[in-house]
Amino acid sequence: MAQGIIYLILNKQNGHKYVGQTTQGMNKQWQQHIQEALRMSSKPLHRAMRQYGNNNFMIKEIDECDERLLNEKEAYWIDQHQPEYNSITVPEVVKVVEPTPQRDRSQQKSWGSLTEKNRGNGKHCGLKIRGKNLTTGVCVDYENARIAAKEITGDPGKNANILLAARTGGTAYGHKWQIMEEKTKKKSVFGVNKKTELIEVRFESIAAAVRELGGKGRGTGLIKSLRNPGRYSWKGYLWFYG
């Protein structure tokens, strides 16, 4: 029978914890959490990772057991540590009731011109969107309005409502929205070695990474890797913002 691991993730800034289980290596499990956070997971741990930065968290093994006992062991260690990030402290967003096909078509017609306009001129579609939960006050940044719509409502096609709210400073789906200025060139980046799956290099910006590693041009390979987390590599590393 396969062996499993119980692990603890600690936020070094405030001491908050997360207890989890896995049957894969610790490095792979940590990278999985990083990728989920990058994909805008709404779980408390992943929200915190985006807020504080991955470098402010540490992961360690606290128990090992038969795979069949993982659930029991995990429950035991959750009881011991009372981890803040295992509890859903942020209320779940109430899902909008899906409209009937006829109503859905009318909504598409109403918002069609706005959606096409943004696709055409690219004024807001590619910019980041920030949503503030009106109930909890928690702010989350999304890569674009479609990702925000999928995360909040489950339907990426509802991005037009969010775009309109962001442009006017209004609200939609229980959130207040705003368009964030894109400043990717000033964001810090780090590289995960493809073979060891360890974070080995970190730079204050894309430009710094290109200068240090001798990339040609403007680092198009690095940017491609950043835009597709975990899919493409550059200079032997998978690249992430953080």
- pLDDT, tens digit, 9 for 90 and up, residues 97-106: 333 344 444 3
Cross-strand bridge partners of residue 203: 189
Q: Give CA 66 to chain center in angstroms.
A: 31
Average pLDDT over residues 22-42: 91
Q: Into how many domains does the chain fold?
A: 3
At residue 215, the pLDDT reads 59
| Structural domain boundaries enclosing 224 | 184-241
Asked if the model's pLDDT at residue 34 lies above 90, the reply is: yes
Instruction: Point out the domain boundary residue: 55, 86, 117.
Output: 86
Residue where a domain terminates, one of 38, 57, 86: 86
Domain boundary, last residue among 86, 119, 140: 86
Q: Which of 156, 136, 133 is nearest to 144 (CA)?
A: 156
CB 117 within 8 A of CB 172: no
Note whether 127 and 163 are same-domain residues.
yes
Whether residue 78 lies inside any domain: the answer is yes
Identify whether residues 130 and 170 lie together within a single domain.
yes
pTM listed for this prediction: 0.39
| Burial class, 224, CB count within 10 angstroms (exposed 0-12 / middle 13-18 / buried 19+) | middle
- Name the amino acid, one letter, at 158: K
Residue 154 has pLDDT above 70, yes or no: yes
**Percent of the chain, pLDDT > 90?**
20
Given this model, what pLDDT does residue 218 score?
Answer: 63
Residue 5 has pLDDT above 90, yes or no: yes
Residue 51, domain member (yes or no): yes
Cα–Cα distance for residue pair 59/11, rounded to 1 Å: 9
* Per-residue pLDDT at 153 exceeds 90: no
183 CB-near residues (< 8 Å, 6+ apart): none
Assess contact for 78 and 126: CB atoms under 8 A.
Answer: no
Computed on alpha carbons and rounded to an integer, the radius of gyration of the chain in Å comes to: 20
Is the model's pLDDT at 152 over the cut of 80?
A: yes
Q: Which of 157, 138, 137, 139 is nearest to 147 (CA)?
A: 157
- How many whole angstroms from its chain centre is CA 71? 26
Residue with tokens 């402010």: 56
Enter the tokens of residue 116.
């096409």
Q: How confident is the model at residue 112 (pLDDT cuts 50, 70, 90)?
A: very low
Specify the pLDDT at position 186. 58
